[in-house]
Each structure stands twice: as C-alpha cells, then as structure tokens.
Structure 1
Amino acid sequence: MTLGQLSILAAALFLVGSAEVVAGPLMTAMAPDFGVPPAAIAYLPAAYGLAYAGFAIIAGPLSDRFGRKRPLQAGLLGFAALSTALAHSTNLSVAIALSALAGLCGAFVQPNSLSFVADSSSPEDVDIRTARVFVGLMSAFVITPSIAGWIADRFGWRYAYYLLALLAALAFLAVSAAFRPGRSHGGVVVSFVATHKGALATRGVVRRLAASYFWLGSVAGFGVVVADVAARKLSLSPTDAGLLAGFFGLVTIAGNLAGPMVRALLSHRALPIACFAASAGVFAFAIPATSVSQLALVGLPWAFGYGCGGPLHHARLSGMSAQFRGTINSYHASLLNLGIFSTSFLFGALAPTAIDLFYALVGGISLIGASLLAIANFAERRVATKGQGA
C-alpha cells in the first residue's frame, strides 16, 4: 500500500471522527435554531453512533464477500449528501434522523478503511500502518472542534457541515481514483450467517470485542462531548471550548504515534496500561479546575491513554483472522459506536443536573473494558507459553 493510499484512508477516517465530534463545540450555537437546551444537541452524535452500531454488522460481511472499494465509495458519497442535508435542517428531530443516516454511511467507511490496511500489510507492519491511518481519525479531535467552533462564531454552525460534505466528496473522488475494486475475502464461506459464526468463533475475539464497547466506546464517547464538558466546567465560549478539545486531540495524536514505540518497550503490557490510564483520566475530570491549564492537565491521562491504546486494540483485532477480518472489524466498529451512543446519551441525560455522576459512570464502564483487555492479554500469553512448552 502506497503512502498516497494510506493518506486517503486516513482522510476517510478523519470524516468518521469529525462526524462524532463536530456537534460538541456547536451545541450552544445550534440550540437556539432548534429551540432546545444545548445538552439536547448531544443526541446528534448519539443517533449517529447508534445507527452506525446497528448497521456495521451488515457492512462487514458484505466487504468480506464482495470487496472493500464499493462499500467505501458508497459510504463517502452518502456522507457528503447527508451532511449537506443536515446543514439545511430546521428542527432537532430532522437533524437527528439525518445524523442517524450519516451513521449508516460511517458504518461502511471505517471498517473497510481498516480492512484495506490489514489486507495489504504483514503482521509486523499492521501496528505501524494502522497507527498512521489512525492519525486521520485522531486529528479530527484536534482540527474539527477548533475549526467548527470558529466557524460557528463567525459564519454559523451550518457551514461546519457544508465543509464536511465537501471533504467527503473529495475523499470519494480520491478513493475512486486510487484503489482498484477489491476481491472477495470470504474464502469458502458462502452464507451471511456462516460469516458471522466464523468471525465470532475466532479464538479470543469475543472478549476483545466486548472491550470495544466497554473501554474504547466509553473513552471515545467522552471525546465526543469533551468540548461541552470543558464549557460547563469553566463557562467557555464555543471557540475556547473547541480549542481545548483540540488540545486534547493533539495529545491523542501524540499517544497514537507513540503507540508502536510503547508496544516495543512494554510488549503485551502496553495495551492494558494505556487502557487503565485512559479510564483513570475520565474519573479525573471530576477534580475541580479553575483554569484552562488545570483542566488541560487533568485531561492528559485520558487523551494520551486513549490515543495510545485505541490503534493497538484495532490492530490486534484486525490481525485475529484474515478470512473474517471485515466482519470482525465491523463488529468492533459497531460496538465502539454503540459505546459512543451510550456515552452521548448519558451526557444528554445527566449533564444538566448530575455531571459528576456522568464522570463516575463513564469511568467505571471504561474500567470494565480495560480489565477485559488485561484478562485477554493474560489468557493469550498463557496459551502462547503452553504452546512453547509443548
């Protein structure tokens, strides 16, 4: 896979990440147009994540059987059309429906992008290439909140969605030009049901997929609302909240790029340590902060642990089965976005009256997922050790 192709896939993941975080700094700007409290805007990323979660388990088996390119093209083109339509919506119900439909498109984009990477990489290169592509996803947490908040203050929130639509259209053209139609990856598997059964029968995959919901979904979902979390704690403007969220995104990218090095240093311990750090970081947001610099310091463990552990978890799942890679990645993406939906929903329900309870619940759920990954690592190491002994 060429550097240009990796860059295109990174751009596709940038759009997926942007759809998850763009509404955060726009909440106070969108709410008056829809006649709702700002916290209600959190239902937009919640709807996106729920639809994504429900549809991804269909998108993955299709790519295993018929190739990666066409589903990826369909997702990007639909994303462009729906982002444009959302910018024209005049009430929250319509916006939520359009956000959910955009989630269906995202369900084609991320799993197929990751499967493209793993299909063309050796086991030794999967971590590194996945980390590079994930720079696109993580950079959305830097660029999108910062630009979206600035656009909302100067031009109106609708133009943030127009910009996403333009970027999706350009990504569609780039994928069309740079990739050949993929071949089937399903081997001898014929039926849709057999594809799912084969993926779930892969040794160790169920425990790691559960962590996709409990850990990665929770810490990623926290990133979706972190701009509004910051605004509530310190009474920040959309621009300032977006900039702080952008800083956290920058730390996330640093963790993303450091992941392969951390893994080289700590071996199998790298992923559990990163996961526990991110979970502890979510709890830390309950600590009182009186300045932006204090809140930025509080958020460092969450952002770096999330950035470091996320790609390592993705790469491990992608490498568990070549035959069912698309299906496993789709289950992973589905559960990840279900976790984002759960976190966004909790924020919408609890932020107005019980924000500390929100931190406790999200931190506790993510801690369950971190524990599952630690157990999975221990079990796999034990099996490997027995195999060497035999």
Structure 2
Amino acid sequence: MTTTAPPRPASRPAAVAPFGRTAAVLSATALLATSQLYGAIPLFGAAADDWGTRPGPLTWLVTAFGLGYAAGFLLFGPLSDRLGQRRVMVAGVAATAVTTALVALAPGLAAALVLRVLQGVTIGAFPPVAMAYVGERVAPHRRLLTVTAMTTGFLSSAVIGQLTAQGMLALLGWRSFFGLGTALFAVAALALRAVLLPDVPRPGASPAAAYRAMPRLLAAPGLRMLYLAVPVVLGSFVAIYTALQLTGTDGLLGLRASALPVILAVPLATPRLARLDPVARTAGALLLAAAGTALIGLLAPGTAVLALLLMAVTAGIGVTAPGMIDLIGSRAGAHRAPAISLFTALMFVGASAGPQLAAALAGRGLAVIALALAALLAVAAGLVRAARRGLNSA
C-alpha cells in the first residue's frame, strides 16, 4: 500500500486482554447492536397499522438505522484513538440505551426515522472501535477467532433479532422489542466497563490524521477492489430477508431460525479455514452465497429447500465478513483503525441499501430479487479475486 501518514504514537498497550470474557462480551454486544437493524423487519406490519400507513415505507426504518450506524463508524472509529477505546465503547452503548428508549416512544413514522438515525449513530461507536481493540489488545494468535466470534454475533442477529422481535410482537406489541433493547444496552455498557482493559494514553493521537487517511485507503492498490465489494456482503444478506417478509413467504419463523446453526458453526470452522489462502477463501465464500441465492431464484423452492439454500447463503456471508476484515486490516498497516472504520461503514451502507432494493423489486417476486442479489454477489467475488494483484504489490 502506498499511503503515508505520521506514525502512530509510540505509547502502546502492554497488557493483553483475557480471551474468553473479552470475546464473550464483545460478541454479545455485537449481537445486541445489529439486532436493532434486523429486528425492525418483522415489525413492519404492526407498526404500519399503529401509524396508519403501509408496510412498504417502513423499510426506511432499516435504512435509517443503517445509515446512522455507518456514520457512527466513521465518526467514532478515529475519535477512539484520542478519547480511548474503552471510554468510547462504553459511552456509545450507554447512549444507545437512551436512543432505543426514544424509538420505543416514537409517535409516528417521521419521528421514528429521525430517532432510528440517532440510534444508529450512538451504537456506531461500538463495532469499529471493538475491531480496533481486538487488533491491539488481544493476543495475535487469538485475533482471527475473536473477530470471527464478533462477526458471528453480528450475523446471528439476523436470526435472533428477527425471532426476538417476532416473539415480543406476539406477547407485548411491537414497541416492546425496543423496550427490551433499552434494558439490554444498559447491561451491555456495564459489562463492557467491567471487562475491557483500561485505556492507555496516546499522546498526539490525531483523529484528523485518520480522517485524512480514509480517501487514500479507498484508492490504495489492493484495497479499492475490496472496498467496492464490501457493501454487497451485508446488503445482499439484509435484502434477502427483507424480500421474504415483503413477498409474504410462508414459514418465516422456521426460515429465520434455520440459519442459526450455520452461523454458530462458522467460528468452529475458523481454525481450518484460516489455513486457506485468504483471497481464495473470501472469494469462494462469496460464490457460495451467490450460488445459494441464484438457486432460490431459479427453483422457487418450498420451505424445506428454501431453508437449506438460506443456510448456504448464510455460510457464505459468515465466512466472507471476517475474511474481508482479515484482508483489509492486514494490508492497512498503521492505518488499521480507519481502514476497519471504512469497512464497517461500507458494510452498513450496503445494509441500508438492501431493504430499498428488495422493496423496489418486491412487486416482481422473490425470484427476481434473488437473481439480482446473486449477480451482485458474483461481481463481489470477482472484485475480491481482482484485488489479489494489488494486494501482492501493496
């Protein structure tokens, strides 16, 4: 990579974070954070009835949160070098307890959209800072497994968030999902404060330098292709689940639950997968997701086969996300923190666009949406493969 910037301060954390409880708390918070993205999907109908509108416009509840989330990544990732990683994560998660409570009280869609953006911004303080924390405070031989555990938390929220929202809707109404989130974010803030290592001063740490590095990272050889592929990863994943909801697919409860065993199995496979070439591993995982999605479109399968295909899609995405972090983070050098902030931001820009793509094509049926997503995933796999030359010359 050809970017240059002032070196990071010499002061470095000496202590190594305890693996078990660090991975557990970070992955649980990751699950909770992104559950707020996916959990809105089953609530479209009930919230629309409450506010006197149609379910279609409520896809913007997902998009608004995703855009705020991405903005939070870009804002707080670089700031954490100056303010301290532990301080930023704890404050952001605590603030999200407040913003989530406000979403629960939203009187209408317009207010809810504004509050969802704000909710996304506050919890956006967590993911990029947590990834940077792992890169600096977790022992090197534990990092990939810890990142994979966190990624599993983010991905399993697609299942657990939707199932929780569906259950809370049936028991106490759609607003109760956000009420539960309020309490859990407060608990998560306390857990992070108890488990994370104290911040180490970084004299001279400059958020402005990180912000200036971001455009150069986007244009860097080997990274630009990867960054172009990033939005497709989570965008396709959110889009397919949104499409299932909007097209009235039968057996949604079982379909949502079917992906969970695959998500939980990904960390167990990580040690073996880590032996593979990272570019080939990541591109191959994207092709697996593309194949599963294409078959959904071509076969118009029944519930059982659809569940199996969704498992294949989930496996592909579950392997792709930590693979992309590994590729981008390892090539960013001293710019790891802004590079990961860009990665997470672009992931959720894609997640924000996914529901709108699904809504735009919903009238044409699930098959058309699935085939469009398969094409995007195949292009993303090609971009990862094309990045190899730049990665080797960086």
Q: Whole-Å Cα distance in 2 between the matches of residues 183 and 322 of structure 1?
A: 20
**Is this contact kept in 2: 1:51–1:100, CA < 8 A?**
yes
Aligned-residue sequence identity (percent) comes to 23
TM-score normalised over the length of structure 2 = 0.86
Q: Whole-Å Cα distance in 2 between the matches of residues 206 and 15 of structure 1?
A: 35
Mean Cα deviation higher: 104-113 or 281-290: 281-290
1:8 aligns with 2:25: yes
Partner residue of 1:19? Answer: 36
Partner residue of 2:236? Answer: 222
CA deviation vs aligned residue, 1:302-341 (integer Å, no higher than 9, x gap): 1110011111212332333453322111111111111111
Unmatched runs of 5 consecutive residues or more in structure 1:
385-390
* Pairwise CA distance, 1:115: 1.1
1:296 aligns with 2:307: yes
**Is this contact kept in 2: 1:39–1:352, CA < 8 A?**
no
* Pairwise CA distance, 1:203: 10
Aligned residues: 377
CA deviation vs aligned residue, 1:98-122 (integer Å, no higher than 9, x gap): 1111110122111111111111235
CA deviation vs aligned residue, 1:223-250 (integer Å, no higher than 9, x gap): 33544433455643xxx42441232243
Q: Which 4+ residue blocks in structure 1 deviate beyond 6 angstroms?
A: none
Instruction: Give the letter aligned to residue 376 of structure 1.
Output: A
- Determine helix, strand or coil for the equivalent of 1:36: coil
1:328 aligns with 2:339: yes
Equivalent positions of 1:187-266 (< 5 A) are: 190=206, 192=208, 194-198=209-213, 201=216, 207-208=222-223, 211-212=226-227, 214-232=228-246, 235-236=249-250, 240-265=251-276
Q: Whole-Å Cα distance in 2 between the matches of residues 274 and 219 of structure 1?
A: 10
1:317 aligns with 2:334: no
**Is this contact kept in 1: 2:48–2:55, CA < 8 A?**
yes
**Distance 1:371-1:122 versus aligned 2 partners, 3 A rule:** farther
Mean Cα deviation higher: 35-44 or 344-353: 344-353
1:159 aligns with 2:173: no
Q: Whole-Å Cα distance in 2 between the matches of residues 165 and 209 of structure 1?
A: 38
Equivalent positions of 1:2-151 (< 5 A) are: 2=18, 3-151=20-168
- Determine helix, strand or coil for the equivalent of 2:70: helix
Q: Whole-Å Cα distance in 2 between the matches of residues 34 and 47 of structure 1?
A: 17
Instruction: Give the letter aligned to residue 333 of structure 1.
Output: T
Q: Whole-Å Cα distance in 1 between the matches of residues 58 and 158 of structure 2?
A: 18
**Distance 1:45-1:70 versus aligned 2 partners, 3 A rule:** same
Q: Whole-Å Cα distance in 1 between the matches of residues 226 and 238 of structure 2?
A: 18
CA deviation vs aligned residue, 1:342-364 (integer Å, no higher than 9, x gap): 11222233324565443344333
Partner residue of 2:361? Answer: 350
Q: Whole-Å Cα distance in 2 between the matches of residues 150 and 130 of structure 1?
A: 29
- For the aligned residue pairs, the C-alpha RMSD in angstroms reads 2.7
**Distance 1:209-1:83 versus aligned 2 partners, 3 A rule:** farther
* Pairwise CA distance, 1:129: 1.8
Instruction: Give the letter aligned to residue 294 of structure 1.
Output: V
**Is this contact kept in 1: 2:232–2:377, CA < 8 A?**
yes
* Pairwise CA distance, 1:168: 0.7
Partner residue of 2:348? Answer: 337
Q: Whole-Å Cα distance in 2 between the matches of residues 33 and 146 of structure 1?
A: 21
- Determine helix, strand or coil for the equivalent of 2:298: coil
**Distance 1:349-1:62 versus aligned 2 partners, 3 A rule:** same
Instruction: Give the letter aligned to residue 236 of structure 2.
Output: F
Q: Whole-Å Cα distance in 2 between the matches of residues 217 and 32 of structure 1?
A: 32
**Is this contact kept in 2: 1:202–1:320, CA < 8 A?**
no
Partner residue of 1:388? Answer: none
CA deviation vs aligned residue, 1:265-292 (integer Å, no higher than 9, x gap): 4554211101222233333332343531
**Distance 1:242-1:34 versus aligned 2 partners, 3 A rule:** farther
CA deviation vs aligned residue, 1:152-189 (integer Å, no higher than 9, x gap): 1232111111111111110001112222442356x866
Unmatched runs of 5 consecutive residues or more in structure 2:
1-16
Instruction: Give the letter aligned to residue 263 of structure 1.
Output: A
**Distance 1:347-1:253 versus aligned 2 partners, 3 A rule:** same
CA deviation vs aligned residue, 1:51-110 (integer Å, no higher than 9, x gap): 222342221111133321121112211211111111111211111111111110122111
**Is this contact kept in 2: 1:33–1:90, CA < 8 A?**
no
**Distance 1:372-1:89 versus aligned 2 partners, 3 A rule:** same
Mean Cα deviation higher: 161-170 or 291-300: 291-300
Q: Whole-Å Cα distance in 2 between the matches of residues 334 and 268 of structure 1?
A: 21
Instruction: Give the letter aligned to residue 31 of structure 2.
Output: F
Q: Whole-Å Cα distance in 2 between the matches of residues 203 and 210 of structure 1?
A: 9
- Determine helix, strand or coil for the equivalent of 1:230: helix
Q: Whole-Å Cα distance in 2 between the matches of residues 210 and 377 of structure 1?
A: 9
Instruction: Give the letter aligned to residue 230 of structure 1.
Output: L
* Pairwise CA distance, 1:22: 0.3
* Pairwise CA distance, 1:130: 1.0
**Is this contact kept in 1: 2:221–2:390, CA < 8 A?**
no
**Is this contact kept in 1: 2:288–2:313, CA < 8 A?**
yes
